[in-house]
Every structure is written in structure tokens, then in C-alpha cells.
Amino acid sequence: MSSVDLDRVRELEARTRILHPGLASRRDLLALVDDHVQRWLERLSDDLPGYGPDGQTAVDALQDAPITEHPRPPEEVLEIVGRGVDHVGVNESSGSFFGYIPGSGLYFGALADYHAAVVNRYAGVYYAAPGAVRLARTCIEWLAEVLGYPADCGGDITSGGSIANLSALVTARDACGLRSEEFAESVIYLSSQTHHAVDKAIRIAGLGDAQRRLVPLDGRYRMRADALARLVDEDRRAGLRPFLVVASAGATDTGAVDPLDAIADVCEQRSLWFHVDAAYGGAFALTVDGASRLRGIARSDSVVVDPHKGFFLPFGTGVVLVRDRMHMARAFAGSAAYLEDAMDSEPDVVASPAELSPELTRPFRALRWWLSLQLAGVDAFRAALDEKLLLARYAHDRIGALDGFEVGPEPDLSVFTFRHVANGDPDAVNRALVDAIHTDGRIYVSATVLDDRYTPRFAVLNCRTHLAEVDRAVDVIAELAARVNGSLHDR
Ligand SMILES: *Cc1c(COP(=O)(O)O)cnc(C)c1O
């Protein structure tokens, strides 16, 4: 006996049917989407540019497809996305993309995302999704081994390096027992090459009032460990409270790797939390050359790596590792009871991600990584990273040998800077060159400001970048530099 109008319920039910299409419709939809992305991927290898500069009209046209009460045909929807999204802006999936830190959008990762979204496991809580949480932990333990971290370290797969850095800084803040009234006299050491995400994380962590020291750099943009030690000692003598050092393992602008081993010495001797931002560079630990560059990373208290950079995964994949996972649990566990039960008395239990991160509900990000490692095998990743190291040195040599070009230091990893030297204001000349590259669109490079000078840079990290793409990129840069010189001359 209910007063609910069941005819109304049945009528509502009929209107929801489209939300769970039947098998035949699902297969049709999937085939349409598959056809769309396969055509895009096929073009990616030959004629999709590193940058689609003329897309504003297509972006504006997205407004012509308002969200309404009624379904739109899938072909039409895909066509709208194809025009307004897929070909507009920088194309990080292209092997001709050398800007910022290139992404890749590894295909295995996309398949994993499809699978993970359909099955929709509740990946934040062990009880709810033990298999999903176990796979995430397997990825974390695999990375721990690659970096030389203890197998029982704390770890979390985040949406990216920014959130991973935030988690590490919050953990460091709490582990050092800093209370809010002590924030203003606490000191954090970083450098002018530290990623701005760290500065942002410091502020979000409530440490905006903490003192920040920019440690002087050597001639290759690396933090000087001797200068760090001197600054820390001076600050201690002045009654301040040094507590955290943030080193970069692959600075975004210059690719420089700070001397991690020497910095670890300073931190150990002075009981400071040693955090390494290896969002860009961390994956190179998989290679022999990279591992030797990153020596000392295993001695840090926390480290951040972005698998959506060096492991080529789709965007939305970062990792933070914390040597002592109890520090992480103390910072993030939802309840003290959990800490006592799960963390202390059962040290082998696979912790729920929700207890080691600010998130509760989360997507099953780990599947991207785990499936990719399984389907491709680790050797392919190691080879790709070794290849990037060599290609960057090769590009550095080739651009350095071009007429009218100078290059920054030999790359520590796979990023270096270069400048075009021609008649006229050097900043204007290099801006004109980068503008010409963007307008041309065949390749993409970005620039930074280094020592107050506008400085183009070259970053090799896309999994589709090989020798042919690098050779073509250098040829395009030479060709456009000649054209820029011509037009500067004409004025
Ligand atoms: C990319 C990067 C970040 C920021 O990471 P997101 O994944 O973009 O949030 C932080 N630090 C370094 C060194 C980076 O390269």
C-alpha cells in the first residue's frame, strides 16, 4: 500500500533507459568513438601538427552546440568535439611536441581508463575495492624499487605533480611538528628553478608566512649544497627554524638535476626534511644514466614523480612517495582509530588510499599505469627513456652547431635551452623565432625567462618522438630562424 503513483514511476523509468544502453547500442557507440580516435591516431603519426594555432573559430563554434533537454546524435557530438577540441591548441600527443614537459597519452593508458570508468571500482577504500587498491600499491612498490625507496614506504597516486607536492609538503609540515604559531619563523629552502607548483603548495599548506630561501645556483642551474649548508646554519644562529629542503630532480625550465646526494648530506647532518620534486625527472631512474644523475634520491624523505610525464600516461597521473608511511598516515588518516588498528598492529596491510591522501572518492588511476607496464613490459619504457636522453643530447649538439645559435648547458636529462643570436634585440629576435614556430605549427617549443633573458627551450619526452622527429624539428628551427632574420632585416 503506497500512495506513490506507479504509472508516474514507470513513465520516469522509460525516460532513463538511454542512460544504460543495450549491448547492440553500446557496441555501436564504441565503434563510433573508436573510429573517431583511430583516425586521429593515424593522422598523429604523419600530419597532425605540434600546435593547432587557428582553432579559435572552432572553439567559439562549441557554443553553437548548447546542452539541451534532448539527446544529440552521437555522430554529430563526435564531430563537434573533433572540430572544437581534438585539433586546437598544443598537441602534446605529437612526436613533434617539444614544449613545456611533453605528455604522450599512451594508448594502453586510454584503454585502462575506459575499463576503469566502466567497472567504476571505489578505489579509495581497501574494503570496497581490494583489487584496485592492491594494484595501486603494486605500482607504488614498483616505483619505490626503481627509486631505491623502502618497499613499505607510504605512497599515493594523485592527479598530478602539483597535488603530489602538496601531499608531501603537508606531510613534512606535520612530521616536523610545526604548529601554526611557529610558521613565521620556520624556513624552507628551494631555488629559483623550483617549480611554481611547490610555491603554490607551500601557500595552500598554510605555510605562506614561512621564510623562503632561494639557495644560490651553480653555472648549470643546480642548487649549491655548500650554499644551502651555510644558509641553514646562519638561520639557526639567528634563532629561526629550518625544517624543509626542496630539491629539483629535473627542473622544468632547464632540466637541471640538483646534487641530491650532497643535499641529502646537509639534510641528514641538520635534521631537515628532504623533499625531491622529480615530477619530470623521476622516471629516468629506470635507466642507468638517469639513475646515476639522480643518485641520492633514495635518501630523501619524500619524492614526487609524474607518470603522465616520464611514463607517458594520460594526464591525471602523479605519485608521491614518503619514506616513513606513518608520517603520511598521521597527516591524512580520517580517524585516529584507523591508525592504531590498521597501521600499527598490521604493518603489512595495504592502506586505503583515502587514509594517505586528501581524497576520499577517486578514479582508479592505477590501472593506467599497471596495465601499461603489463602490456608493454618495463623494457620498452627503459628503452624509450634512454632514447630520450640520447635524443636530447643529439638535439643539443645539432642546434649548437647551427649558424647563429647558442645552447645552454649539456642536458642533465632531456631538456635544454637555446638562443638564436642575430642582429637586433636578443629577446625580440628569440620571441620572433618562437612566434614563427607557433604560427608555422609543424613543431612546438616553448620558452622561459632565464637570467632575465627570454630563452627558448627544447624538451624531449613524448613516447612518439624519435630520431626523425628531432631531425625535422632542428631543420624547422633553422628554416624559420633564416626567415625571421630575413624579415627583421627588411624592417
Ligand atoms: C610538471 C611539474 C610539476 C607540476 O605537476 P603537474 O602534474 O603539472 O601538476 C611540478 N614540478 C615539476 C618539476 C614539474 O615538472
For residues 291 and 246, what is the distance between their CA atoms, to the nearest angstrom?
19
Instruction: Determine the distance separating the centroid of ligand 1 and the alpha carbon of 292, expressed in angstroms.
Output: 22
Q: Which atom of ligand 1 is the closest one to the Cα of 309?
A: 1
Listed range (90-94, 225-229, 303-307, 337-341) with the worst mean pLDDT: 337-341
| Count of C-beta atoms within a 10 Å radius of residue 449 | 10
Q: Which residue has the cell 557507440?
A: 29
The number of angstroms, rounded, from the C-alpha of 58 to the middle of its chain's C-alpha atoms is: 28
- The mean pLDDT value for 138-143 works out to 97
- The answer to whether the CB of 414 falls within 8 A of the CB of 389 is yes
State pLDDT tens for residues 177-215. 999 999 999 999 999 999 999 999 999 999 999 999 999
Nearest CA owner, ligand 1 atom 8:
161
Q: How many CA atoms lie within 13 A of 278 on its CB side?
A: 39
CA 239 to ligand 1 center in whole angstroms: 33
Q: What is the pLDDT of residue 87?
A: 85
Residue 195 CA, closest ligand 1 atom number:
11
pLDDT in the model for residue 54: 66
Supply φ then ψ for residue 407, to 5 degrees.
-120, 155
Average pLDDT, the chain: 94
The pLDDT of residue 345: 44
How many angstroms separate the Cα of 146 from the Cα of each of 46, 139, 143, 278, 280?
Answer: 34, 11, 5, 13, 15
Query: How far apart are the CA of 78 and the centre of ligand 1, in A?
Result: 31
Q: Which atom of ligand 1 is nearest to the CA of 162?
A: 9
Within 6 A (CB) of ligand 1 lie 101, 160-162, 195, 197, 248, 252, 277, 279-280, 306, 318
242 touches 232 (CB < 8 A)? yes
Q: How many angstroms separate the Cα of 420 from the Cα of each of 50, 207, 481?
A: 21, 40, 7
**323 close to 317: Cβ distance less than 8 angstroms:** no
Query: What is the rounded CA–CA span in Å between residue 155 and residue 5?
Result: 51
The secondary element (H helix, E strand) that includes residue 169 is helix 161-175
Which residue's CA is the closest to the ligand 1 atom numbered 6? 161
Query: pTM to 2 decimals?
Result: 0.95
Long-range contacts of 137-144 (CB under 8 A, 24+ apart): 137/350, 137/351, 138/366, 138/370, 139/319, 139/366, 139/369, 139/370, 139/373, 140/319, 140/321, 142/373, 143/282, 143/305, 143/319, 143/321, 144/321
Ligand 1 atom, smallest distance to 308 CA: 7
Ligand 1 pocket mutation, candidates 166, 254, 280, 412, criterion most atoms within 8 A of CB: 280
Determine phi and psi for 279, rounding to 5 degrees.
Answer: -55, -45
pLDDT of 58: 81
Question: Rounded to the nearest whole angstrom, what is the distance from the C-alpha of residue 309 to the centroid of ligand 1?
Answer: 9
pLDDT digits (tens, 9 = 90+) for 404-459: 999 999 999 999 999 999 888 999 999 999 999 999 989 999 999 999 999 999 99
Is residue 84 scored above 50 in pLDDT?
yes
pLDDT of 56 reads 81
Distance 301 CA to ligand 1 centre (A): 19
Question: Mean per-residue pLDDT for 41-61?
Answer: 76
Pocket test for ligand 1, best of 100, 192, 252 (most atoms within 8 A of CB): 252
Q: What is the DSSP letter of 257?
A: B
CA-to-CA distance for 61 and 59, rounded, in angstroms?
A: 5
Judged by DSSP in three states, 304 sits in strand
DSSP state of 249: B
Q: Whose CA is nearest to atom 15 of ligand 1?
A: 280
Give the least confident one: 59-63, 149-153, 221-225, 357-361: 59-63
Q: What percent of the chain has pLDDT over 90?
A: 86
pLDDT recorded at residue 347: 43
What is the per-residue pLDDT across 378-396, written as a single tens digit (0 to 9) for each?
999 999 999 999 999 999 9
